[in-house]
Amino acid sequence: MISTKLTELLGIDHPVVCAPMGSVSGGRLAGAVTAAGGLGLVGVSYGDAAFIDEHVAQAAEVGGVWGVGCVMFTFDDRPGLWDKVLGYAPPVIALSFGDAAQVNRYVAAAADAGSHVIVQVHDPEQAAVAVQAGASVLVAQGAEAGGHHKTQATLPLVPAVVEITQGAVPVVAAGGIADGRGLAAALALGADGVMMGTRFAATEESLATAGFKSHLVSAHTADTVDTRSFDVLRGIPWDEVYRARSVSNDFTRTWTGRDAELAALRATLEPEWTAAVARDDTTQRAMFAGEVLDLIQDIRPAAEVVGGVVADAEDILTGLARRIGVRTA
């Protein structure tokens, strides 16, 4: 059993968090991770009322310590959906991708509702804002992550964020982590746990489609690309400092780096693309995945992922001093 400030604060058994991946982390996956002793998060990302009512309710029925992940800048444009999330009384709310004003506003609202508040950060400056706003936990997400990220890698980012917090709140490492080696490394960097996305997308309980899951197993890290093309096509106003790592396909090879041209053709192309997504056309759809693809060989139950990561990290931490010949006085 690995006990950290994160497990103690949240009352969970293992310092393993399932990333709240939109359209992938549903109620079944969140519930399975929570039931296995980690923290399961439902990803409501862009705020869809029907998805919230189905999947947040499903996670709530499982009980335990579970949560909801919200992309802050998108909730500002969808009145009523934030209150809908709070109405399910999630023990944890995970916030990401907001400016300083949004961080302060959403952290305060979630805390007032009685939730632990996790804030994802991508550089030390964002970490300082989140701590000042009253976040319960910080997630330091490096550029190895799937989906949206900035530029700093996990290895230097985590200790930099730990320095900012000065032990005031737990820090969770994210980006480039898929197994017990990643958890052990994160703990060595000063983190109190890990958040994994791509590894949990490749589980039996994830909402990832059959085509997406097949690519998670067969693709390699070298097959990923950082792109804004999916955001441009969907008209989602992401700040240009963020790119989204995805498995490359015909769509990304055609449109990455051609944002202005894609935006101009959006009215024509988006309906065709939406239809392709509906039929799980993996030559066109977004398949967000991180640099851990070389480590993912199979689709497993989420509980096996949690248990395996923790057991392997325990073995590594126990044997590390012996393996490298460290002596104590």
Per-residue pLDDT, 51: 94
Helices (H), 98-238: 100-112, 124-133, 154-165, 180-188, 198-201, 210-218, 229-234
Is residue 280's pLDDT more than 90?
yes
pLDDT at 318 over 80: yes
Q: Identify residue 206 by its one-letter amino acid code.
A: S
Average pLDDT over residues 77-92: 94
Instruction: Give the pLDDT band (50/70/90) at residue 329.
Output: low
**pLDDT for residue 239:** 93
CA angle 292, 67, 21 (to 5 degrees): 35
Mean pLDDT in the chain? 96
pLDDT tens digits along 19-45: 999 889 999 999 999 999 999 999 998
Yes or no: say if 300 and 200 are a contact pair by the CB < 8 Å rule. no
Closest Cα to residue 161, out of 110, 199, 200, 119? 119
CB atoms within 10 A of CB 2: 21
Mean pLDDT of 126-155: 98
Joined tokens for residue 306: 């949690």
Confidence tier at 225 by pLDDT (50, 70, 90):
very high
- Top CATH class of 7-207 equals alpha beta
Q: Tell me what pLDDT residue 188 has.
A: 97
Residue of 278, 226, 273 lying closest to 252 (CA atoms)? 226
Q: Which residue has the tokens 């400056």?
A: 125
Domain spans of the chain? 7-207, 210-278
Q: What is the pLDDT of residue 23?
A: 87
CB under 8 Å to 301, separation ≥6 — which residues? 32, 203, 204, 205
pLDDT band at 327 (very low <50, low <70, confident <90, very high): low
Q: What is the DSSP letter of 55?
A: I
Predicted confidence band at 321 (pLDDT cuts at 50, 70, 90)?
A: confident
**What mean pLDDT comes out for the span 277-285?**
97
Tokens of 28: 């079944």
Model pLDDT, residue 326: 63
pLDDT at residue 325 is higher than 80: no
Q: What's phi and psi for 238, nearest 5 deg?
A: -70, 140
Q: Which two tokens stand for residue 212?
A: 């997406």
Q: Average pLDDT in the 81-105 region? A: 97
Query: What would the mean pLDDT of 149-173 be, rounded to a whole number?
Result: 97
How far apart (Å, rounded) are the C-alpha atoms in residues 295 and 214?
14
164-203: pLDDT as tens digits: 999 999 999 999 999 999 999 999 999 999 999 999 999 9
Q: Is pLDDT of 47 > 90?
A: no
What does pTM read for this prediction? 0.96
Least confident window among 202-206, 237-241, 284-288, 295-299: 237-241
pLDDT category at 328 given cuts 50, 70, 90 is low
**Angle at alpha carbon of residue 53, lines to 49 and 57, rounded to 5°:** 150
- For range 156-166, the mean pLDDT: 97
